[in-house]
């Protein structure tokens, strides 16, 4: 990586990120992150309108990376396909988090800063029984293709599935991005953060090793 990348990381690590103190605004926001019901093939929103606190779709970011801060009540989502590479990072306290796949049910603790990540086209059926505040992120496969060019794997093989794990740097990136939603500045700054964050994910969680 060039010197700019490491300089950006230092800025992120030092920047104040007041995201957890964000107030809910009166304006109703709609989730731009969609899921596909496995049985019906119909699209549905990843969160109810009442749960979306902040959304990158409302502030003019490019759609390579969609970020929403969602405050979710207990839910049990139907089995669905992931559209876009999907990541959630827990912005609140520890929550017992479960998911169903291949006829099996799993549960773990999603710690503060913990994340779950799946690739485009994978199936998911998560559930939780406590209020959950997350940064929900969708990355387009085309964005990955722009970065990796002829080294791009098939969409479903882009990232190794991860559940309820923690990565401090990923957490700091997301808090910095969410803070940009709370007090929007120059979109180029958010877009540069988005690129650096995606490079970080590809470096540490790619399904297959890649030279970046």
Return the higher-pLDDT residue of 83 and 205.
Answer: 83
Question: Residue length, the chain?
Answer: 212
Tokens, residue 92: 């609140």
User: What is the per-residue pLDDT across 150-193, written as a single tens digit (0 to 9) for each?
Assistant: 999 999 999 999 999 999 999 999 999 999 998 888 888 888 99
What string of H, E and C letters represents the secondary structure of the chain?
CCHHHHHHHHHHHHCCCCHHHCCCCCCCCCCCCEEEECCCCCEEECCCHHHEEEEHHHCCCCCCEEEEEEEECCEECCCEEECCEEEEEECCCCEEEEEEECCEEEEEEECCCEEEEECCCCEECEEECCCEEEEEEEECHHHHHHHHHHHCCCHHHCECCEEEEECHHHHHHHHHHHHHHHCCCCHHHHHHHHHHHHHHHHHHHECCCCCC
User: What is the per-residue pLDDT across 106-125, written as a single tens digit (0 to 9) for each?
Assistant: 999 999 999 999 999 999 99
Using the predicted structure, report yes or no on whether residue 209 has a pLDDT greater than 60: no
| Distance separating alpha carbons of residues 158 and 63, to the nearest angstrom | 19
Using the predicted structure, report yes or no on whether residue 71 has a pLDDT greater than 90: yes
Using the predicted structure, report yes or no on whether residue 127 has a pLDDT greater than 90: yes
- Domains recognised in the chain with CATH numbers: 3-16+47-205 (2.60.120.10)
| Distance separating alpha carbons of residues 100 and 124, to the nearest angstrom | 7
Using the predicted structure, report yes or no on whether residue 26 has a pLDDT greater than 80: no
Return the higher-pLDDT residue of 106 and 6.
Answer: 106
Instruction: Report the predicted TM-score, pTM, of the whole model to 2 decimal places.
Output: 0.85
Return the higher-pLDDT residue of 35 and 102.
Answer: 35
Tokens, residue 36: 């596909």
Tokens, residue 201: 């994910």
């Amino acid at each position: 990586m060039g010197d700019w990348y490491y300089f950006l990381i230092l800025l992120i690590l030092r920047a104040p990120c007041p995201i957890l103190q964000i107030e809910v605004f009166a304006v109703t926001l709609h989730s731009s992150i969609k899921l596909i019901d496995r049985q019906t093939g119909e699209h549905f929103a990843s969160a109810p309108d009442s749960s979306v606190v902040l959304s990158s779709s409302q502030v003019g970011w490019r759609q390579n990376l969609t970020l929403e801060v969602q405050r979710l009540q207990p839910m049990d989502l139907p089995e669905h396909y992931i559209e876009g590479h999907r990541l959630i990072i827990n912005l609140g306290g520890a929550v017992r988090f479960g998911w169903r796949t291949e006829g099996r049910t799993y549960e773990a603790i999603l710690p503060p800063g913990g994340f779950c990540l799946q690739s485009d086209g994978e199936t998911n059926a998560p559930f939780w029984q406590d209020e959950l505040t997350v940064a929900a992120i969708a990355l387009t496969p085309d964005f990955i293709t722009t970065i990796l060019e002829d080294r791009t794997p098939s969409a479903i093989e882009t990232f190794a599935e991860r559940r309820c794990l923690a990565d401090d740097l990923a957490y700091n990136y997301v808090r910095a991005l969410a803070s940009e939603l709370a007090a929007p500045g120059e979109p180029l700054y958010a877009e540069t953060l988005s690129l650096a964050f995606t490079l970080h994910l590809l470096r540490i969680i790619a399904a297959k090793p890649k030279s970046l």
